[in-house]
Chain A
Amino acid sequence: MNSLREATFRIGIFSPLVILVVYFLLLGLAQGPFFDSTEFVKTLGSQEILFPLKISLITATIATLLATAVALPAAYALSRFNFTGKYLIDTFLDIPIVLSPIALGTLILMALNTAIGRSIELRGVSISYSLGGIVVAQFTIIVAMSVRLLKAVFDEINPRFEQVARVLGCSAHGAFFRVSLPLAKKGILASFVLAWARAIGEFGATVTVAGTIRGKTETIPTSIYLAMAGADLNRVVILITILVIISFSVLLLIRIIAGVKS
C-alpha cells in the first residue's frame, strides 16, 4: 500500500518535469523543417550572422561590466548598512525588473529628450540609434537585477568575518577588499554571467532605443526580428541556435561556478 502511494507521489512529481522538458524540446525541434545544413554552414560565417554576434558580445560585455561596477557597491550598501529610506530604495530598485523592457526603452528615449539628455548627446555621446544606445538599454535592463543578485551574495556572507577583520587591524575598506570581496568572488562571477546572459538576449529596450539598423545596431535578438520580418527563416534558425547555445553554456557555467549538482 505504502509503495503504491510512493509510486503515485513520484509520478505526480516527475510528470510535470517530463512534460516541460518534452515541450521545450519540441519547441527546439520545431526548427527542423526550416533547417538546411548546407545553407546553415554557408550562412554561419557570413557578415549577416557575424556582425550581430560581434555587436551582441561587445555591448553585452560593456553593459555588464558597467552594471556590475555600479551594482557591487550599491548591493553592499543595501546589505550591510541601515539607513533612512532603505526599504523604499530597495523596493524602488525592483521596478526596472518588473517593468516591460519596451516601457524602459521608451523612458530612456524620453529622458534623452530632456535638457540633460540633449546636453549629453550634444557632448558627442551618441545614444539614440547607436551602439551607445544598445549599451544604455542593456545596462538599464540588467543593473537592478545585478543589485538584487549581488545583495543576496553579500547577505549570505556572515558580517562577523568583517567584524573580526576590523578588530584584527583592517579599516572598513580593508575588510571589504580583503575579506568580503574574496568571499563574494563566486557569487559576483555568477551574477556577472547571469546579467551578461540577460543582456545578450535583450530585445525590447534595445530595439526602442537603438532601433534595428542593419550593419549598425543589429544584435542577435533584433537580427532575429529583422530576419523574421524579411521571412529569412534560415537566418532565424541560425540566430536562434546561437542564442540557445550561448544561453545553455552560460547557465551551465553558473551551475558549475556555484557548485550546484543537478
Chain B
Amino acid sequence: MIRVESLYQKKGSFSLKGINLALSEGEYVTVLGPSGAGKTMLLEIIMGLHRPESGRVFLNGAEVTNLPPERRGISYLPQDLAIFPHLSVRDNILFGARMKGMKRSEIVSLFVELTRLLNLEGVIGRKHISTLSSGEKQRVALARALMTRPVLLLLDEPLSALDAFIKRQLQIKLREINRTVGTTIIHVTHDREEAFMLGGKIAVMINGKIEQVGNGDDLYYRPVALPVAQFLLNNCNIFKVKMIGNLPDGNFYLNGDLPLIVAARDEIKPGDHVYAGIRPEEVMVIRSDRPFSSPIMENQFDCLVIDILKKGGTNSVFVKPAGKEVTIEMELPTYAFQDLSIRIGEHIMVSLKKKSLWVLPDQDRQPVKFSEQTETAKKIKKIF
C-alpha cells in the first residue's frame, strides 16, 4: 500500500540513512524514536513537503516521490495541530474536503459520521477555535484530516501535549478509527508506552535510521540492535560482558559488569565482547521463605537497595549487587512491593532470569544519547 525505499535526506549535520518501510492497507504502524531521530523529516518526505536526495515513495503501487502534497491523497495531523485560527470549527473540519472538490452529499454524510465518531456534535457550531479544550482541538484536527478520506493518515506526535486521561481516550479512539474506518496510519511518537499500547507494528527509528521493525513483543524481548535496547530501557540494565565459554549444560557463561549465564546462541563465541540486558519488569526478587523455581536459579545476586521510586501502580527499585559497580533497576507492581516490604538500605536477593536476558554484539558503537529522557532515567543519572 505504501512503500518507502532507500530514502536518503540530509539537513545540516543530520541525515536520514536509507529508510525502508512498507505498510499494507489498513495497517497501523508506529514510528518510535527519541526527539531528533528524523521521524518528522520522514513524514514530511512521505507527504511531499520535501523531496528526498535519493530514494522513492510509492502509494498503492504508483510512485509519488515527485508529486506535490495536494495530489498524494494523504492527510496529516501535526504535533501542534495547526487548526486554522481564522476559520470556524465547521470550516476547519470541511477545509480539505472542499479543497479536494468532494461531492456535497459525500461531504454531508462523512461530516455527520465523523462528528459522531469523534463526539464533536457539541462544538461544530462554534465560531472560534480558541473556545475549544485541548482534547476537542485534537478531535477537530483529526476530523479535518479524516474528512478527505485519505489513503494514508500521518500522525506526528498528536497526543504529546495532552494530559494522561485525554491521551488515553484518544489512543483508544485512534485504534477504533483504524479498525472501523480502515484508514492506514503512520503514527510518530517518542512515547514508548504509547507505541506499545497502540498495538500494530512498531518501527524504532534512531539517529536517522530504522533500527528494528516488529511487534511489541519483538522489541520487548528481542531487540536486534544496541541503540534499540538502550532507547527502550533508558540505558538501564545494560551490562558490558565478555563471553567466557560454554557450561556443561550448554548455556553460555559471560563475565564483566556482572557474571551472567545465558541460553546458548549462535551469534557469539568465546572471547567476544557483548552487551547483555534485561527489562526491569523481568528482574525477580527472591523470597527466602519460598522455594525458588528453576527459571530463577541462575544469575542470583545479593543486592543493596539504594533507591525507590513510587509511581502509583508500580515501583522502581534500584539495587547494587555486592562488590559490583553496576546498578540494576526492578519494576515491581505495588501489591508485590508492599508484600515484600522493601526498604532503602536493606539487602535483597534478585535474579536476572536467564530466558529474559538478551545479548547483543558490541558493535563498537558509542552509546546513543537521547535528548528525551523519562523521569526515571533522570533519577538514575542522579544516582550515578
- Point out residues on A near B: beta carbons under 8 Å: 158, 160-161, 163-172, 174, 178-179, 182-183, 185
Minimum distance in angstroms from A168 CB to a CB of chain B: 3
- Point out residues on B near A: beta carbons under 8 Å: 44, 47-49, 68-70, 72, 74-76, 78, 80, 82, 84-86, 95-96, 99-100, 144-145, 148
CA distance A172 to B70 in the complex (A): 9
Tell me which residues across on chain B come within 8 A of A185, comparing CB atoms.
86
CA distance A233 to B100 in the complex (A): 66
Q: Is the CB of A158 within 8 A of B70?
A: no
Q: Is the CB of B75 within 8 A of A167?
A: yes
Closest 3 CB pairs of A and B: A169-B99, A168-B96, A166-B69
Tell me which residues across on chain A come within 8 A of B48, comparing CB atoms.
166-167
Known A-B contacts A168-B144, A169-B148; the reply to A163 vs B70 at CB < 8 A is no
Known A-B contacts A163-B76, A183-B85; the reply to A169 vs B96 at CB < 8 A is yes
Q: Which of B44, B85, B86, B95 contacts A168 (CB 8 A)?
A: B95
Tell me which residues across on chain A come within 8 A of B85, comparing CB atoms.
183
Pairs across A and B, CB under 8 Å, 26 listed: A158-B80, A160-B78, A160-B82, A161-B84, A163-B69, A165-B84, A166-B48, A166-B70, A167-B48, A168-B70, A168-B75, A168-B76, A168-B96, A168-B144, A168-B145, A169-B70, A169-B96, A169-B100, A169-B148, A172-B68, A174-B99, A179-B84, A182-B86, A183-B84, A183-B85, A185-B86
Tell me which residues across on chain A come within 8 A of B144, comparing CB atoms.
168
Q: Is the CB of B84 within 8 A of A167?
A: no
Minimum distance in angstroms from A172 CB to a CB of chain B: 8
- Chain A binding surface SS class: helix
Q: Is the CB of A167 within 8 A of B47?
A: yes
Tell me which residues across on chain B come within 8 A of A165, comparing CB atoms.
84, 95, 99
What residue in chain B is nearest A184 (Cβ atoms)?
Answer: B86
CA distance A181 to B74 in the complex (A): 24
CA distance A215 to B130 in the complex (A): 54
Q: Is the CB of A167 within 8 A of B95?
A: no
Tell me which residues across on chain B come within 8 A of A168, comparing CB atoms.
70, 75-76, 95-96, 99-100, 144-145, 148
Tell me which residues across on chain A come within 8 A of B99, comparing CB atoms.
165, 168-170, 174, 178
Tell me which residues across on chain A come within 8 A of B100, comparing CB atoms.
168-169
Tell me which residues across on chain B come within 8 A of A172, comparing CB atoms.
68
